[in-house]
Chains A and B, each alone.
Chain A
Amino acid sequence: MKKFMCLAMTAAMLAMSLTACGSSDSAEETTAAAAAAEAEDSTEAGDTASSDAVFVIGGTGPLTGSAAIYGNAVKNGGQIAVDEINAAGGINGYQVKWIFEDDEADTEKAINAYNTLKDQDLQMFVGTTTSGSCLAVVPETENDNMFQITPSGTTADITIPENVYRMCFSDPAQGTKSAEYIGQNGLATKIGVIYDSSDTYSSGIYENFVAEAANQGLEIVGAEAFTADSKTDFRTQLQKLKDAGAELVFLPFYYTEASLVLQQADEMGWEPMFFGCDGMDGILTLEGFDTSLAEGLMLLTPFSADAEDELTQNFVAKYQEDYSEIPNQFAADAYDCLYVIKAAAEKAGITPDMSVSDICEALKPVMTEIEIDGLTGQGIKFTEDGEPNKAPKAVVIENGAYKSME
């Protein structure tokens, strides 16, 4: 009995220690970010001769942690848009200040990060980057009636409140669009799925993928789950799908685990097609990962850095110059978010002296009227529900780089 108690207690403590780890790190990160924001503020204030008033637009996302690539991309993509907007005279003649906080893709820290932004007079919110923390923050923004547009929070329920909009496809849309894409392009008919049953993003896509697969004449030969506690060993799942005769394996989860799936399939000597969603974005920049394993991997993403249009070319060049990296879709989503805000703000004629709630009330009615040509699509419109209306695109990895599939 004593041993049992001991076991239970220690397990509980360890679980706590796991969730709590890294908190000290984030505190440092926040103060550093705040200091950087202040420094930027002072330089920007010097430039703005016409008026001292600025629009404060902020975002949150994981700048550290396993999803850090996403948060940094959103931060940098947003920064590029803000720099451009400011250089072109700002929004309604007012300069824009871009502030960003680290949330480590953690629900609690996301709320803290949002509150930190509010302490810096946040007026419009571009966030959060990941779905889980977005769901946690949405009740707060609804309460404040803060205008919110998430660049990449995909869970369906995020856009239920009227103040929340979305730039990327939702999970249902991603699942549906993936199945449509596979079916319409005749990539395969026997499909295997591996998904993270402990993650809303992954299981959300999975459910809708399965629902749409039936309409597309795709046969789901196997659907295997894993959880956050056992996300390193996929050999059994892969073996089952291999035995079931899957030609294409759909991987609706993040790139860290996907890198293991690709590696273990390679060890088994099995080479099906692999198809991922936006969470796969980042696999090529994973430190130490052998990118040759990702050759032929397809992913549904609204943005491809090799697109020929001028907007994309300029954005990619600017991003590479400032951050020495090829931007991913998260950066593009964030960039588009800022231009959506700009378009809506100009249409509604808002000014920085308005209250947060008044800004939101002014922007809401015009959101369905605006139309944007952005990095993630031409003629993007918004529905009444806050969802974007744009065409899906897919890329395939060839020679270690994304290549558009059309």
Chain B
Amino acid sequence: MSSFISYFINGISLGSVYAIIALGYTMVYGIAKMLNFAHGDIIMVGGFTTYVITSTMGMSPMVGILSAVVVCTVLGVAIERIAYKPLRGASSLSVLITAIGVSYFLQNAALIIFGADTKSFQSVINVPPIVLADGAITISGVTTVTVLSCIVILIALTTFINKTKTGQAMLAVSEDKGAATLMGINVNRTIAVTFAIGSALAAIAGVLLCSAYPTLSSTTGAMPGIKAFVAAVFGGIGSIPGAMIGGIVLGVIENLSKAYISSQLSDAIVFSVLIIVLLVKPTGLMGKQIQEKV
């Protein structure tokens, strides 16, 4: 039983990281209707920023996290302005390919700046582990912080969207860009804010990811990025609670199948579950069926 709880907690810990990454995907998709494949690489940038500030320059972890958030927010907005905004009217395929281009660019830029050697990331989270049941279950500090951050972010984001003017503008843009413009909403500014929030979340996800799994290389964000994208689709892309649930469910399924079925087949099982969910509910767990007006 205690092992089951351990596996479950590991799953939630991994899932929470997926969830925070998935939130970035889902927000941008929900509002700008585009898949920002560079999101995973912004995570990597967040990780490297923290690495440089804390390990190389020896400053405090708090400074590291804050700088990561600032750098990623600025980067996210800059990417949107330079690479995506000029393509606002273009087909979604062009934007998708641009996003892959940006992803390439970030990975290779990191490769040139930091070299290809894997770095070992010093965890910036200094929270003592929680030991339960006489040491049979240990919840690491990173796990506690990750899960708590995940919950705080979900609550903050939902409140922001429902209670603030900018949040309402986001909802309006996601429903109908044209009508929102007619209503006097600055669509470009709203989308820029969305990218800023998404990238700030990516920075936090980067710090948490690298603290939980302390290696850092130019492709660090790529695989978690893909898994989180799956989580976003699983939960229903465009839905904020969906991304959260999708991420956590994905992490738990991955860890439990590793534990009880086969450590080799865990990825195959995760993707099979995704296929089944999408067959039964094509919009994902929490996705809304949107009627296309012809």
Given the known A-B contacts A64-B116, A243-B3, are A14 and B37 also in contact in the complex, defined by CB atoms under 8 Å? Answer: yes
CA distance A7 to B277 in the complex (A): 15
Bound Cα distance from A104 to B14, whole angstroms: 30
Would A267 and B140 count as touching, CB distance under 8 A? yes
Specify the chain B residue showing the minimal Cβ separation from A266. Answer: B140
Give the complex CA separation of A50 and B86 in angstroms. 67
Report the number of A-B residue pairs with Cβ-Cβ less than 8 Å: 128
Q: Is A273 an interface residue (CB 8 A)?
A: no
Q: A14-B37, A267-B140 are in contact. Are A259 and B120 (CB under 8 A)?
A: yes
B window 47-77: CB within 8 A of A:
51, 55
Of the candidate stretches A18-26, A127-135, A359-367, A386-394, the one touching chain B is A18-26
Whether A226 sits at the interface, judged by CB under 8 Å, is yes
B35 interface residue (CB < 8 Å to A): yes
Give every chain B residue within 8 A of A65 (Cβ-Cβ). Answer: 116-117
Contact partners of A267 in chain B: CB under 8 A:
129, 138, 140, 142
Contact B218 A21 (CB under 8 A): yes
In the complex, A240→B4 CA distance in Å? 10
Which residues A168-221 have CB closer than 8 A to chain B? 197
Interface string of B107-141 (1 = CB under 8 A from A): 11001100111111110000001010001001010
Of the candidates A13, A232, A240, which one forms a contact with B213 in the assembled complex, judged by CB atoms under 8 Å apart?
Answer: A232
For A289, the chain B residues whose CB sits under 8 A away are: 120
| Residue among A3, A104, A236 making CB contact with B258, cutoff 8 Å | A236
Taking the complex as formed, is A322 at the interface, i.e. its CB lies under 8 A from any CB of chain B? no
Chain A residues closer than 8 Å to B97, beta-carbon distance: 13
CB < 8 Å neighbour of A18 from B14, B138, B219: B219
Q: How far is the CA of A3 from the CA of B55 in the complex (A)?
A: 42
Kindly state whether residue B273 has any CB partner on chain A within 8 Å. no
Q: How far is the CA of A68 from the CA of B223 in the complex (A)?
A: 21
Contact present for A21 and B264 (CB under 8 Å): no
A65 and chain B: residue at smallest CB distance = B116
B215 touches A232 (CB 8 A): yes
Interface size class of A (residues with CB under 8 A): 35 or more
- Which of B116, B138, B217 is most buried by chain A, counting CB atoms within 10 A of its CB? B116
Which of B14, B119, B121 lies in contact with A233, CB distance below 8 A?
B14
Q: A7-B233, A22-B108, A267-B138 are in contact. Are A14 and B226 (CB under 8 A)?
A: yes
Contacting residue for A22 out of B3, B100, B116, CB 8 A: B116
* A237 touches which of B215, B218, B258 (Cβ 8 Å): B258
- Tell me, yes or no, whether A310 is within 8 Å of chain B by CB: no
Judged by a CB distance under 8 angstroms, whether B263 is at the interface is yes
User: With an 8 A cutoff between CB atoms, is A263 at the interface?
Assistant: yes
B96 contacts partner chain A, Cβ-Cβ < 8 Å:
yes
CB proximity of B1 to chain A, nearest CB, Å: 11
A288 and B122 in contact, given A11-B226, A22-B116, A236-B255 (Cβ under 8 angstroms): yes
Report B's interface with A, CB cutoff 8 A: 3, 6-7, 10, 14, 35, 37, 51, 55, 96-97, 100, 103-104, 107-108, 111-112, 115-122, 129, 131, 135, 138, 140, 142, 213-215, 217-219, 222-223, 226, 233, 254-255, 258-259, 262-264, 266-267, 278, 282
On A, residues with C-beta under 8 Å from B are 3-4, 6-7, 10-11, 13-14, 17-18, 21-22, 24-25, 64-66, 68-69, 104, 197, 224-227, 229-230, 232-233, 235-237, 239-240, 243, 256, 259-260, 263, 267-269, 286-290
Q: Which 5 residue pairs are nearest across A and B when measured between Cβ atoms? A: A288-B120, A232-B213, A289-B120, A64-B116, A225-B264
